[in-house]
Structure 1
């Protein structure tokens, strides 16, 4: 049997010693802390503060902070694998952890690849040192609210949340919906549009709003179908002052990042890769009579219908894993057309197959799988949410694959033959 920390990537997948150590750490924290509490956060629709305490103690909040700043220095592919391992134990925690880690990656390894003037680079290095220090020294949690209920989060329009330049900083007004970690984050990495006569996506500002800033309120109820432990309520910004030094990228640079590093929009997928693995793992344990919480063990593995169902699940899981691992190896600045298409395909496949695997698991395990004392019904509900998540929903992935496969950049049907 492969070691538990390797199951998310499959047996014999080539890992560096550092990747193996980080996956082992994630497996330990997931098994000891995240999994035993997952049902509680789901039942209460409450934020997993205790999980964050344990991840902070393990150093995982600094996973994507460069080693030069005291973090663990994980690159993109390593983060994606570690995130999937955490998702295997608690999907809601892994999903919120993604928002935090992406704030560090956008500010760190992604920004290192972007074109900046000497002045912009110096400004960015100066500002991000303080962000990294807050995470490593103080254990700060960052969020990354995108959604506004408009086309902005999908990259089709400027953000409705605005930033007006004032002395020493910015005045922020607007709102973000489905803001994961609402009320729990120390800083919200807010994407907003610099106010001008003709607002443009090129004017996007990426800035960290302190969670206790005057004028920032958290509102609305949180009682969703799944991913209940993310506590993704609505953020309202009313004349919120944010100092210049809290920028996560220099003004105008985010637009370049969004276009040149598309794989950063795929970072929600590992959570659902982990859920898919968890559904398969539980089904095998259940049919072998080894599932925890089942009382006297009963084996059900001898029935041909169960064996065929597990075979179907295994095939689907391996197909999904193969595309996931290939796509994260593609990730880089300015990827080619096929790599972009493969990223969309991986996102779509993971989000849809995670739920399909959970459906098969419920059908195969039978009536007891509906009970909240077992994890399958939670995995099923959590997995259904993935296809809806911006900026790459399942529908948007299909749209982009079809369009970009058939048209070259700048090409249209009105172009002369």
Structure 2
């Protein structure tokens, strides 16, 4: 695929920041569950925290492919940083597209500058990735909403400042009664629960949000009341493709590490790469990576160019790329042998981080169900 000069610049800048700023800190971020604030500040300085916000609102005005390229490049250095970058960017994009003039003017400048991070709060303990099963509720009380409920597995939970919270604002239990509220850190009745101790993506600070009679003004609605279905399309495509981008970045790093190790590791008087079995693994890794990249980039172009865009390429890209990253990281670990299994090298981290991507932003099994039903002409839900 031929990239534009602007896309090449974004790709190069992301890779440079990842190599110089993120990769040297990635082991500590993982080991200590250390939130990558310094890396995010570097991304803000480069204009990346408003990359997908229109230029008229102070952002970079980048297209979806540029956003995927940025996410891929960042993930090559630190997947935890890439996940926080992705989530923050989704919130900024949703605000730019569906927010009121007051919301955009008040919130976006600080988000673009990196002074305030955004988080998306949809998942609940009893609903999983199924938004239609959400139970957190906002009840109208004069000029306010009173919110009660809890959200789990929220990326950047305690580190963010601005949260888009998906909840119910009616008595029905279908998609028509879901709304999105902007709730800011420090709101009365808003607190934090446990911080997750995940296997991978450990620097993303996933945790629990708790709302106990949390009072927010009705002006906090993002989009119309009971209108989350009009807000969701603003970010679901970039969310799925952003996850694909993170997968590509991890897989690229894992494949490069395997090739470098195979060329320098000597076994029985010859390099590991001289063994045919290792050559097969190197070939399989890079072929799968190329296929996932082609699918993801094509889906990004389609998202910007086709109106209305079909969700099928988005679902396929997220499904294939995340599963591919797990397989590539697994094979890279096999090439490294016992040294890859050690925490002394980043290969085992690549595997742990990749494994989490098959669960974030719609698990693989849910995507397979959606794809299967849609490909047979059945309703997706």
- Provide the rounded CA distance (Å) in 1 between the counterparts of 2:245 and 2:62: 15
Could you tell me whether the CA contact under 8 Å between 1:193 and 1:201 is conserved in 2? no
Structure 2, gaps ≥5 residues long = none
Whole-angstrom distance in 2 between the partners of 1:96 and 1:410: 29
- Per the alignment, residue 346 of structure 1 pairs with 317
Is 1:279 the equivalent of 2:250? no
Spell out, residue by residue over 1:41-84, the C-alpha distance to the aligned partner (whole angstroms, 9 max, x if none).
11012211221222222222121222112221122222122111
- Specify which of 62, 73, 76 is matched with residue 88 of structure 1: 76
Quick check: 1:38 aligned with 2:26? yes
Gaps of 5+ in 1: 1-12, 112-122, 291-297, 412-417
Q: Which residue of 2 aligns with 1:160?
A: 135
1:383 to 354, 364, 381: 354
Deviations 1:243-288 (A, max 9, x none): 3444333323321243687524413222112111111111122223
CA separation in 2, counterparts of 1:272 and 1:410? 25
Structure 2: how far apart are the matches of 1:250 and 1:21?
Answer: 37
Q: Whole-Å Cα distance in 2 between the matches of residues 342 and 186 of structure 1?
A: 33
The residue aligned with 2:148 is: 173
SS in structure 2 at match of 1:385: helix
Distance 2:233 2:53 in 1: 23
Q: Specify the alignment match of 1:214 in structure 2.
A: 188
SS at match of 2:147: strand
1:140 corresponding residue in structure 2: 116
Per the alignment, residue 229 of structure 2 pairs with 255
The equivalent residue for 2:62 is 74
Shift of 1:137: 5.2
Contact 1:177-1:234 within 8 A present in 2 as well: yes
1 CA distance for matches of 2:376 and 2:112? Answer: 46
* Contact residue 373 and residue 380 of structure 2 kept, 8 A: no
TM-score between the two structures when normalised by the length of structure 2: 0.91
How far does residue 238 in structure 1 lie from its aligned partner after superposition?
1.0
Alignment of 1:4-403 (within 5 A): 13-109=1-97, 111=98, 124-136=100-112, 139-151=115-127, 153-157=129-133, 159-194=134-169, 196-258=170-232, 263-266=237-240, 267-289=242-264, 299-332=271-304, 335=308, 339-390=310-361, 392-403=362-373
SS in 1 for 2:71: helix
TM-score, structure 1 as length reference = 0.83
1:196-234 deviation digits (Å, cap 9, x = unpaired): 333442222212211222222112142221111111111
Counterpart secondary structure, 1:68: helix
1:340 and 1:264 map into 2 onto residues whose CA distance is: 11
Native 8 Å contact 2:117 2:162 kept in 1: yes
SS of match in other structure, 1:220: strand
Question: How far has the Cα of 1:127 moved from its partner?
Answer: 2.4
Do the aligned partners of 1:152 and 1:160 also contact (CA within 8 Å) in 2? no
**Aligned-partner Cα distance in 2 for 1:410–1:160:** 22
